[in-house]
Amino acid sequence: MSDQLSLLKQRLGELADLGHALALASWDQHTMMPPRGAEARAESLATLTRISHDMFVDDETGRLLADAAAELEGADPDSDDARLIALVRRRWEKERRVPTELASESARAASLGQEAWVRARAESDFGSFAPYLEHNFELARRYVDCHLGRSEFERPYDVLLDDFEPGMRAAEVTRLFAELRDELVGLIAELSDQGAVDDAPVHARFPVDGQRLLVREVVSMMGFDESGWRIDDTVHPFATRIGVGDVRITTRWDQDFFPMGLYGAMHECGHGLYEAGLPSSLRRLPTGAAESLGLHESQSRLWENMVGRSRAFCSVLAPRIAALAGGELASLDAEALYRAVNLVRPGFIRVEADEATYALHVILRFELEQELIDGSLSVADLPEAWNARFRDYLGLEVTDDADGVLQDVHWSAGLIGYFPTYALGNLIAGQLWERAGAELGDLERDIADGRLGPLREWLGERVHRHGAKFRTSELLERELGATITVRPFVEYLRGKLGDVYELDLSRAS
């Protein structure tokens, strides 16, 4: 390894260590920290962010980048080192436009905002949360202003979206979402008068202690390894990797709605499998992390829904639920479970939404975020705008902000530009699922037998092993021969729901 490249990697490794400390402090805040620790934790996160930001955007990083690039001149552009230089240069050029004070204050505000959100959600009190939300969006607009004049960003929102889905632009997301919305609205309308599905099983009482045992069994089948993983409770489920060999996932529980804990855990375990499968040869380097949250969400949505809610896996789940829950669920059969967990019915909570209505929750947030950033919508008017759009998109009247504008943690934590990746993840999952079905000939039988290793290894080969070497569009072109597209997901959904509702929904979509 060249001297300058070695020095650059040493610097990036130290930055990764700071990132691990930030991740651990954030995980603790969401799972273990007592509420009175919020102010001190906010200062700690702000300090760590300031140190990390200063170190990354420093001129020395730029010099090492330039010297390492010169030493690699003529190397294979797809080599790990060449891809590392390209990735770090792109991030360095973006981040060095941001003042350290702004980066630090954003971290502090996100930490304080998260705690304010927990209180406000518990009391359904948007008014108490509004000042924190206003501050977060004001900081986001200042961040956007740092990048004004850069031709690569067509709209202010592009700057934020690029942090979570590098290279993706709001115009392209809008086009994809318009096509997806039209497909889903038509599909939901076809199912709206169908009364054939009974979802009583998912509302039967299932004690949380039994749910915990079920979830442990399921995530172990997926690849959860107690020597390198943890699972904990939280208000809003998430997953994170503190470092190589240390993956943390979370879920939450409801004894009268067991899908919350079960599918929340499967979703987060999907994220965890991606993190655990990243190339260890690139540890402590940016290329050894996940580049795209769309890809990340494709993993969680695929495991939660395409596996977890499949007929094949319901044959695995049903007898274990019956044994662990007893009571009303003691005689649960796989077919009843399969139909119950795939009922299409608009609801208030995004993370509990069925696969057909889920993207409408995301599109709503995507549209509101853009309006809050460009100033056409004020924070004070957000609940009214949320409720009106919810009525238009999902046909429901929101009467409680805890089930409305306060239900998600993202805005409180400053994660503005994140929401579109959820629906993009659904689309990518559809593409991966279609290819996996074609290449893993016994996939359904493996799932019905509880053998999830072949699918996990296939995803590792197609997605996880690449880390952040390629942007999403390039990785999909390389592995699947196409960029993000709507068709595979819609065809999957029509096939599945046609099966559930005993209808022919297989028309060209």
Q: Hey, which residues are catalytic here?
A: 268
- DSSP annotation string for 148-178: TT-TT-SSHHHHHHHHHSTT--HHHHHHHHH
Distance CA 485, CA 172 (A): 11
**DSSP character at residue 384:** H
The residue count for the chain: 509
- Please check whether residue 396 is in contact with residue 349, taking contact to mean a CB–CB distance below 8 angstroms: no
Is residue 85 a contact partner of residue 68, using CB atoms and an 8 Å limit? Answer: yes
- CA neighbor of 166 nearest in space, from 271, 240, 87: 87
Alpha-carbon span 436 to 424, nearest angstrom: 18
With beta carbons less than 8 A apart as the criterion, state whether 367 and 351 touch. no
Its sign, for the CA torsion 93, 95, 97, 99, is negative
Task: Supply angle C-alpha 126, 263, 351, rounded to 5.
Answer: 25
Three-class SS of 432-475: HHHHHHHHCCCHHHHHHCCCCHHHHHHHHHHCHHHCCCCCHHHH
- CA distance linking residue 247 with residue 241, whole number of Å: 4
Amino acid at 173: V
Amino acid at 328: E
Give the separation between CA 494 and CA 185, rounded to whole angstroms.
12
